[in-house]
């Protein structure tokens, strides 16, 4: 695949191999951009922002609807590329594409709803004769940087709201999974003025760093790990910044919960995409009275899962993004077991595959649950009381989403009030997202919100106009 700069495909002699995690075979290559290439992309975006800024909302909405239609028609082709480059089971890639199309549709709708407001100037001293109103105007050039695990929907969550608010974009997909992303950029770009959307590939330390530090960029919209997010935050200077970072999401099951429903939801949340989901279930906090019964139910849900070739529509669990990622999970689980956790199911690695794994008697201080373990692991922590369960849930530097299973209105309300996370799901796994809902974490899990309406708002700035 090639990069897409100023409306043209662009290749380089230096290439990066893109591998299929299922068999470690090279599927394709992408160009390795230099800082100079990134600057060219940024300059073309700077030219295009003027053209977009003059476009009517009706026109940009029409373009986004057109792109939505084409993506809808090409869903299957995109899904297969996602599965080849990430190892994500085909049925999950299909879900991702369905959602990506919807995200585009939401952006096409939202582009017509960008409102300013009138300001009651006469409420302030000296304002009695003034008439004031605000306008929401584009920021200019947006840099969108995305991770490997949802290579299309996370990209669309940045690119489509940026365009809806009439910004131009330079997009950098993950070098682990850039193929579907480059195809998307080319497809979208063919509907847009030259330079309105550019896509560059290469290492984060070169391409990412130029995007983060170049003064042409007005906003960085980043999704990825806390580590990279922190490094970006230390360099952005006066750019607007949205960070969607890692999670360590708890699912809490209380004594009065519907256990069967909770077990099904927990398995869904812990093993989706082989556990490589920011809002995946990373800690299972069980109240003492139901812990044994729930654990049996979770093991039987885990046994139902089919691990294998991700291209097979029946497969539930494919490989992790590469063997090193699976080795990292293996080491973390082994360390927990050495320190007293009890392995109840799974715990085996084969190449990039890691079997879905249930661990009981996990101590809240173990690295397995203190850091983000990005793999199909279900670590159980036992708590005596509702309060203790919520305290454990909050005892983490992360705060993306949380799930609580209970039939008590009082406990549900207490969870809503006390759990420090960007989203609290009652009787649902934290791994729940619709593409219009406000989405984004507290604490080290990030800042700012995505979800199309909220992302569009964040892609604008406010100008005040006063008539004397």
Catalytic residues: 244, 278
Q: Give me the DSSP letters along 294-332.
A: HHHHHHHHHHT--BS-TTSTT-SB---SSHHHHHHHHHH
Nearer to ligand NAD, 53 or 397 (CB): 397
Nearer to ligand NAD, 149 or 411 (CB): 149
| Nearest distance from C-beta of residue 288 to ligand NAD, angstroms | 30
| Nearest distance from C-beta of residue 177 to ligand NAD, angstroms | 8
| Nearest distance from C-beta of residue 212 to ligand NAD, angstroms | 5
Residues 6 or more apart whose CB falls under 8 angstroms from that of 311 comprise 22, 80, 83, 84, 90
Query: Which parts of 315-344 interact with ligand NAD (CB under 6 A)?
Result: none
Distance between CA atoms of residues 462 and 240, nearest Å: 13
Distance between CA atoms of residues 258 and 66, nearest Å: 44
DSSP structural state of residue 416: H
User: Is 231 among the residues that bind ligand NAD (CB under 6 A)?
Assistant: yes
Distance between CA atoms of residues 186 and 36, nearest Å: 21
Nearer to ligand NAD, 320 or 381 (CB): 320
Query: Which parts of 389-408 interact with ligand NAD (CB under 6 A)?
Result: 400
Q: Please name which of 408, 334, 428 lies closest in space to residue 375, comparing C-alpha atoms.
A: 334
Nearer to ligand NAD, 272 or 389 (CB): 272
| Nearest distance from C-beta of residue 169 to ligand NAD, angstroms | 14
**Stretches 74-82, 181-189, 241-249, 411-419: which one binds ligand NAD (CB under 6 A)?**
241-249
Query: Which parts of 38-57 interact with ligand NAD (CB under 6 A)?
Result: none
User: Is 372 among the residues that bind ligand NAD (CB under 6 A)?
Assistant: yes
Q: Judged by CB under 6 A, how many residues of this single chain contact ligand NAD?
A: 31
| Nearest distance from C-beta of residue 406 to ligand NAD, angstroms | 26
Among 19, 49, 88, 172, binds ligand NAD (CB under 6 A): 172
User: Is 24 among the residues that bind ligand NAD (CB under 6 A)?
Assistant: no
Among 247, 250, 310, 403, binds ligand NAD (CB under 6 A): 247
Helix (H, G, I), strand (E, B) or coil at 360: strand
Residues 6 or more apart whose CB falls under 8 angstroms from that of 340 comprise 361, 363
Decide if 112 contacts 50 (C-beta within 8 A): no
**Stretches 113-121, 142-150, 333-341, 381-389: which one binds ligand NAD (CB under 6 A)?**
142-150
| Nearest distance from C-beta of residue 432 to ligand NAD, angstroms | 13
Beta bridge partners of 462: 136
DSSP structural state of residue 353: E
If residue 286 lies in a helix (H) or strand (E), which one and from where to where?
A: strand 283-287
Nearer to ligand NAD, 138 or 246 (CB): 246
Nearer to ligand NAD, 278 or 285 (CB): 278
Decide if 132 contacts 466 (C-beta within 8 A): yes
Say if strands 26-31 and 141-145 run parallel, antiparallel, or are unpaired: unpaired
Binding mask 63-102 for ligand NAD (x = CB under 6 A): ----------------------------------------
Angle at 435 between CA 398 and CA 153, to 5 degrees: 85
Distance between CA atoms of residues 131 and 128, nearest Å: 8
Q: Which long-range contacts (CB under 8 A, 24 or more apart) does 121-126 make?
A: 121/466
User: Is 147 among the residues that bind ligand NAD (CB under 6 A)?
Assistant: yes
| Nearest distance from C-beta of residue 154 to ligand NAD, angstroms | 6
At residue 353, what are phi and psi to the nearest 5 degrees? -85, 140
| Nearest distance from C-beta of residue 225 to ligand NAD, angstroms | 3
Tokens of residue 121, six digits: 């100037």
| Nearest distance from C-beta of residue 29 to ligand NAD, angstroms | 16
Decide if 271 contacts 467 (C-beta within 8 A): no
Tokens of residue 119, six digits: 């300001």
Q: Give me the DSSP letters along 187-211.
A: HHHTTS-TTSEEE--S-IIIIIHHH
Among 93, 100, 111, 149, binds ligand NAD (CB under 6 A): 149
Decide if 180 contacts 82 (C-beta within 8 A): yes
Report helix angle 153-164 to 90-110, nearest 10: 10
User: Is 146 among the residues that bind ligand NAD (CB under 6 A)?
Assistant: yes
Query: Which parts of 199-228 interact with ligand NAD (CB under 6 A)?
Result: 204-205, 208-209, 212, 223-225, 228
Among 244, 249, 360, 435, binds ligand NAD (CB under 6 A): 244
Binding mask 273-302 for ligand NAD (x = CB under 6 A): -----x------------------------
Nearer to ligand NAD, 94 or 175 (CB): 175
Contacting residues toward ligand NAD, per CB under 6 A = 145-150, 154, 172, 174-175, 204-205, 208-209, 212, 223-225, 228, 231-232, 244-247, 278, 372, 374, 400, 441, 446
């Amino acid at each position: 695949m090639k990069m897409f700069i100023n409306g043209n495909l662009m290749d380089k002699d230096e290439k990066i191999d893109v591998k299929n995690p299922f068999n470690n075979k090279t599927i394709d290559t992408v160009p390795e951009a230099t800082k100079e290439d990134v600057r060219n992309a940024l300059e073309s975006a700077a030219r295009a922002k003027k053209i977009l800024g003059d476009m009517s909302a009706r026109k940009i909405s029409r373009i986004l609807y057109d792109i939505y239609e084409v993506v809808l028609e090409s869903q299957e082709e995109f899904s297969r590329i996602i599965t080849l480059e990430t190892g994500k089971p085909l049925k999950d890639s299909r879900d991702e594409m369905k959602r990506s199309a919807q995200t585009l549709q939401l952006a096409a709708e939202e582009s017509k709803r960008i409102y300013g407001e009138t300001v009651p100037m006469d409420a302030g001293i000296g304002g009695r004769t003034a008439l004031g109103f605000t306008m929401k105007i584009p920021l200019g050039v947006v840099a969108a940087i995305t991770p490997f695990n949802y290579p299309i929907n996370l990209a669309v969550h940045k690119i489509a709201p940026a365009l809806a608010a009439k910004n131009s974009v330079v997009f950098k997909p993950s070098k682990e999974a850039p193929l579907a992303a480059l195809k998307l950029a080319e497809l979208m770009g063919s509907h847009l003025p030259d330079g309105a959307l550019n896509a560059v590939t290469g290492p984060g330390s070169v391409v990412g760093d130029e995007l983060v530090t170049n003064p042409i960029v007005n906003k960085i919209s980043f999704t990825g790990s806390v580590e990279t997010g922190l490094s970006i935050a230390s360099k952005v200077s006066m750019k607007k910044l949205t960070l969607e970072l890692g999670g360590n999401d708890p699912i809490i099951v209380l004594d009065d919960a519907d256990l069967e429903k909770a077990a099904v939801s927990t398995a869904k949340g812990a093993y989706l995409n082989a556990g490589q989901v920011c809002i995946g279930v990373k800690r299972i906090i069980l109240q003492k009275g139901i812990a044994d019964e729930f654990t049996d139910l979770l093991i039987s849900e885990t046994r139902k899962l089919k691990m294998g070739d991700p291209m097979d529509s029946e497969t539930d669990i494919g490989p992790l993004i590469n063997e090193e990622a699976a080795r990292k999970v293996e080491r973390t689980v082994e360390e927990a077991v050495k320190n007293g956790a009890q392995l109840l199911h799974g715990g085996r690695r084969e190449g990039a595959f890691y079997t879905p794994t249930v661990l009981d008697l996990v101590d809240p201080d173990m690295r397995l649950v203190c850091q983000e373990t990005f793999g199909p692991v279900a670590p159980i922590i036992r708590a005596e009381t509702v309060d203790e369960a919520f305290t454990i849930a909050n005892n983490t530097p992360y705060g993306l989403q949380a799930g609580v299973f209970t039939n008590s209105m009082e406990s549900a309300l207490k969870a809503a009030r006390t759990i420090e996370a960007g989203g609290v799901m009652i009787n649902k796994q934290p791994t729940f997202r619709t593409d219009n809902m406000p989405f984004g974490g507290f604490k080290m899990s990030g800042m700012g919100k995505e979800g199309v309406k909220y992302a569009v708002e964040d892609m604008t700035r406010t100008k005040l106009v006063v008539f004397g």
